[in-house]
Amino acid sequence: MKNLNLYQKIFNMSYKVAIIGATGAVGNKLLSTLIERNFPLKELYLLASNRSEGKQLKFKNRKFIVQSIEKFDFKDVDIAFFSAGSSVSAKYAKEAEKKNCYVIDNTSHFRMDKNIPLIVPEVNHSELGKMRGKIISNPNCSTIQMLVALRPIHNINRIKKIIVSTYQSVSGAGQQAMNELTNQSKAIIEEKELRIENFPKQIAFNVIPQIDVFMDNGYTKEEMKMVNETKKILDHSIEVNATCVRVPSYISHAESVYIELENDIDLTSLENALNNGEGVIYSSSDYHTPLDSTGQDAVYVSRLRRDLKKENAFNLWIVSDNLLIVAALNSVQIGEALIKKKMV
């Protein structure tokens, strides 16, 4: 890996990394992203629950044995990527932090903790320099792709209001949810009994306007994540309203977004901002579908247009690979930011 040698030369060292939840869908994406980004690894530890202990996973043509997190000591780890669910992070993240290990947590457990930074590197990496501990939270998948797209606009004309409707693939609910879509689709085609296990209603050939549980205010937990995380990351004063929908596709999320700006602005200025936005690919002549973004490490923006009545309001369409850019890539980019800032 010629680029790996260059990367190690730049930083003059390499790092001991652990992946918690290595056998899951996001864990697999983390592994491939570490390779694609030429992350400077010295040692790699793959961790999961007791039932996955002893499994073998390949990384750079080498086999690694999955270890149980319950028996693992983080004392020799520099950076740990947690992606095994909130309960696992709640139990082990602080333990890793006590061993002087940086924790990049991909669950919701620490996201709204006022003492823990919620980071999208393209948006607010400067917050890393203000952190008190060693735990960093990775935002919700739909929040990340929306804010990567909106940050370039917010930089030139403050966003006052966001109304977003998401169309989220089943991979956001994990591997078992992906299997359920396959099994339900097959059952319907073969006219066999259909089983509902991971979703509140049938997902095959259907859409479900519910992701996570309902809150007392009538919004779902997923919708409130987008509201609260956007305020914490981008601007506390922004009004945010979200409707999150699960759709019967496997990978990549889409979002229809309405924004109101502080001042009116011409479309060309917004297009220029998007064209220069970090991590953004903008098209004015065509639109992108979730399939177009699958396997790609960018947030795709298209269908930018003025609102029909409000002068300072616009609509746009955003898609990205939720497993790659949203879960895995954002986490790895946080790790890279720690290295560049010489914090680890």
By annotation, the residues acting in catalysis are 141, 253
Greatest CA span in the chain, whole angstroms? Answer: 61
Nearest to 311 by CA among 279, 277, 263: 263
Is the Cβ–Cβ distance between 177 and 150 less than 8 Å? no
Beta strands 239-246; 79-82: pairing state: unpaired
Q: Is the dihedral of CA 43, 48, 49, 50 positive or negative?
A: negative
d(C-alpha 167, C-alpha 17), whole Å: 33
List for the chain the helix, strand, coil content (%; round to 5).
Answer: 40, 25, 35
Residue with tokens 């403050």: 158
According to DSSP, the residues that pair with 6 across neighbouring strands are: none
Beta strands 15-20; 102-105: pairing state: unpaired
Structure tokens at 203: 């997902």
Structure tokens at 44: 């790699």
Residues ≥6 apart with Cβ < 8 Å to 130: 117
Structure tokens at 319: 């898609």
Structure tokens at 296: 């790609």
Residue with tokens 């396959």: 182
CA distances in angstroms from 145 to 13, 280, 313, 338, listed in the order given: 31, 9, 20, 21
